Amino acid sequence: MPRKLRSNFEPGTTRWAVRRAQWVALGIPPEDFEKPKIAIINTSSDLSICFSHLDGVISHLKDGVRQAGGLPFEIRTTAPSDFIHAASKGARYILPSRDLIANDIEVSVEGPLLDGMICLASCDKTTPGQLMAAARLNIPTIFVICGYQDHGEFEGRKVDIEEVFESVGKVATKEITLEQLTGMADASIQSPGVCPGMGTANSMHIVCEALGMCLPGHAPVRANSHRMIDHATRAAGRVVEMVEEDLRPRDIMTAAAFRNATRAVLASSCSVNTVRHLQAVADEAELDINMYELVEELGPKVPLLVAVRPNGDTRVEELEASGGALGIMAELAKELDEAVTVSGRALSDVLTSFKRPKHSVIKPTSEPLSRQPALVTLYGNLAPEGALMKLGTGGGNKMQFSGPAKIFHSQEDAIAAIGKGEIVKGDVAVLRYLGPRGGPGLAFASWFVAALNGAGLGDDVAVVTDGQLSGLNRGIAINQVAPEAFERGPLALLEEGDVIEIDVAARRLSMVVDDESLERRLEGLPEWRPAKERGWLSVFQRLAKPIHKGAALTPED
């Protein structure tokens, strides 16, 4: 007997009658009213190339849902792109857009009591926002990975958005001209999709598969490829089956799945931002998980198996050809916890059937690229609740660094200081009051770090911030320092010239200031007054959790 659907209302009731009137007017045949009702979550927008192809996927999904016996409804949410929506207010809208997506989905899917969801995962904040909504609503949900863009060529060499991102610093130091930067920008993107490096977007796509929330073998994928469309079509049919099976996100996104996802992040040196997003998703799933502790526990045990740009020279299309997330997890199979995927199959069964390609950029665990953790948590008197540092392959990071603090309260001021020659080798650039509440909204420090690398200072100047970095950033860059300066954390007590010590091996981030001096500074610390906000940023400022707890709007325990 078919499972009773929550969307099938009692005939003669008010909600049945008014919905029938609406749907008949929309041209929906009455015989479809009893079918599983599937929301297709589309973050489409004309503002960004990341999303420009999503509308073209919808017809495949609707056809697939109908053929499987379901009734599809397209639902649109906000579509934030880091490179487009970061233009205003120091990029403070970027992280809050993640939670806006989750809340938008809740209203649009839970309000009408739909039965299942297909989520089109694309740019940085769409995947975590959709995962948060899936965990919160806990109705059968499947993800469709919507893929990465093609890079271009300029002056006889390959160029992508990552190089454009970093080359701003080269203009500031006159290493390249504005005309050259313009040429790079114009040539860098040759198709729809997300950034082609191991930035946050591709990282979250890998996380999505490692959590079990998309069909196995789906991430990463080239945007608009036959392979992407094939996965979308199969996902459309599968979600209807999941409704009948009552296979829900919390059956899939278990504590074991989060451990597996963390291992995948470490093995592929994914974006540092995956940590706070995984924390937010775990909170929505009501799991007792501390991602900082999980990174600290698993980091020394998981070797680095692949280094996609900017971590190394490997390109994302090579990772796709090598099996992508599935290939990475197959190499880690002996260390993974048992879990289930949206396919309905046990993860161990999925991995058993994987065949390693003859030519693979994914190293075996016996011969890894590095046994050094790709991501570490640091603690100390400057970060008593933790901070994060991405090591990548470890080749470009100094394990110890000490230098005087150069303090900034915006990345714009810090970038200007590069051009003026005010930041020199040996400095520690501190960007503070950029956290979730102090920003408000978690302001960017990533453009500064990219400019620093572009100026050739990435290996000789350290960065410490309570703001956010990009998954494309590299160098001696420490972010998500907790507690943030706004919360009167130690970062707020720093003074210009104070010596900061970074000891990666010891997992320490400290300032060389005695406790008595810090107590005096705390007593005399003026109140930080962030920009007065009245809209969405004001909501985020009042309700966001601390950064090390995911900075989500979920209630505190």
Given a cut of 90, is residue 376 above it in pLDDT?
Answer: yes
Of 43-47, 467-471, 517-521, give the lowest mean pLDDT range.
467-471
The residue behind tokens 């100026």 is: 455
Report pLDDT for 557: 62
Measured distance CA(47)–CA(83) in Å, rounded:
10
- Cα Rg for the chain, rounded, in angstroms? 23
Considering the segment(s) 35-150+191-352 as one domain, its CATH architecture is 3-Layer(aba) Sandwich (3.40)
Q: What is the pLDDT of residues 218-241, one digit of tens each?
A: 999 999 999 999 999 999 999 999
Phi, psi of 405 (to 5 degrees): -80, 130
Compute the 3-state secondary structure of the chain and give helix, strand, coil in percent, each to the nearest 5.
40, 15, 45
Identify the CATH class of 375-549.
alpha beta
Residue 104 has pLDDT above 90, yes or no: yes
The pLDDT of residue 1 = 52
Tell me how far apart the alpha carbons of residues 55 and 407 are, in angstroms, rounded to a whole number: 45
Q: How much of the chain, in percent, has pLDDT values that exceed 90?
A: 86
Residue 63 and residue 234 in contact, taking contact as beta carbons nearer than 8 Å: no
For residue 114, pLDDT beyond 80: yes
Contact of 356 with 327, CB cutoff 8 Å: yes
pLDDT of residue 435: 94
3-state secondary structure of 228: helix
pLDDT at residue 306 tops 60 = yes
Which residue in 412, 138, 400 sits closest to 287, CA to CA?
A: 138
Beta strands 499-503 and 400-408 are antiparallel
For the chain, the structural domain boundaries read 35-150+191-352, 151-190, 375-549
2 CB neighbour count, 10 Å cutoff: 11
Is 395's pLDDT higher than 80?
no
Report the candidate in 369, 285, 276, 267 with the shortest Cα–Cα distance to residue 326.
267
Provide the token pair at 477. 């860059």
In terms of Cα–Cα distance, which of 449, 479, 525 is closest to 95? Answer: 479
> Would you say residue 216 has pLDDT above 80?
yes
Q: Cα(289)–Cα(259) distance, rounded to whole angstroms? A: 9
Grouping H, G, I as helix, E, B as strand and the rest as coil, residue 388 is: strand
The set of catalytic residues is 470
Contact assessment for residue 40 and residue 8, using Cβ atoms and an 8 Å cutoff: no
Stated length of the chain: 557
pLDDT > 80? residue 540: yes
**Which strand ranges, in their side-by-side order, compose the sheet holding 37-42?**
71-76, 37-42, 116-121, 141-145
Please report the pLDDT score of residue 534 as a whole number. 87
Binned at pLDDT 50, 70 and 90, residue 348 comes out as: very high
Q: What are phi and psi of 547, to 5 degrees?
A: -60, -40
The pLDDT of residue 397: 60
Give alpha helix (H) positions in 299-359: 316-321, 324-331, 347-352
Sign of torsion over alpha carbons 281, 285, 286, 291: negative
Asked if the model's pLDDT at residue 140 lies above 90, the reply is yes
Distance CA 394, CA 390 (A): 9
**In the prediction, which pLDDT does 168 show?**
84
Positive or negative CA dihedral for 327, 328, 332, 333?
negative
Confidence of residue 3 (pLDDT cuts 50, 70, 90): confident
Does position 519 have pLDDT exceeding 90, yes or no? yes
CA distances from 139 to 36, 111, 135, 241 (A): 12, 13, 8, 13
* Minimum mean pLDDT range among 45-49, 253-257, 263-267, 444-448: 444-448
Least confident among 12-26, 171-185, 483-497: 171-185
pLDDT for 472 equals: 75
Q: List Cβ neighbours of 427 (8 Å cut-off, separation of 6 or more).
A: 403, 404, 405, 406, 461, 462
Percent of the chain exceeding pLDDT 70 equals 99
Model confidence at 492: pLDDT above 60: yes
Task: Using the predicted structure, report yes or no on whether residue 396 has a pLDDT greater than 80.
Answer: no
What pTM does this model have? 0.95
Using CA atoms, how far apart are residues 464 and 443, in angstroms rounded to an integer?
A: 13
d(CA 469, CA 524): 30
Question: Measured between alpha carbons, how far is 415 from 448 in angstroms, rounded to an integer?
Answer: 5
List all residues 6 or more positions away from 72 whose beta carbon is below 8 Å from its beta carbon. 38, 40, 61, 62, 65, 66, 236
Q: Which residue has the tokens 């396919």?
A: 343
Q: Is 407 within 8 Å of 422 (Cβ atoms)?
A: no
DSSP secondary structure letter of residue 189: B
pLDDT in tens, 398-452: 789 999 999 999 999 999 999 899 999 999 999 999 999 988 999 999 989 988 9
- The predicted structure's pLDDT at residue 2: 64
Return the closest-CA partner of residue 122 out of 195, 218, 197.
195
Q: What angle do CA 181, 477, 173 make, to 5 degrees?
A: 30
Upstream peptide bond of 483 is cis (omega within 30 degrees of 0): yes
Q: What is the pLDDT of residue 394?
A: 57
Mean pLDDT confidence for 330-340: 97
For residue 313, report the phi and psi dihedrals to the nearest 5 degrees: -90, -10
CA-CA distance, 259 to 211, in Å (whole number)?
9
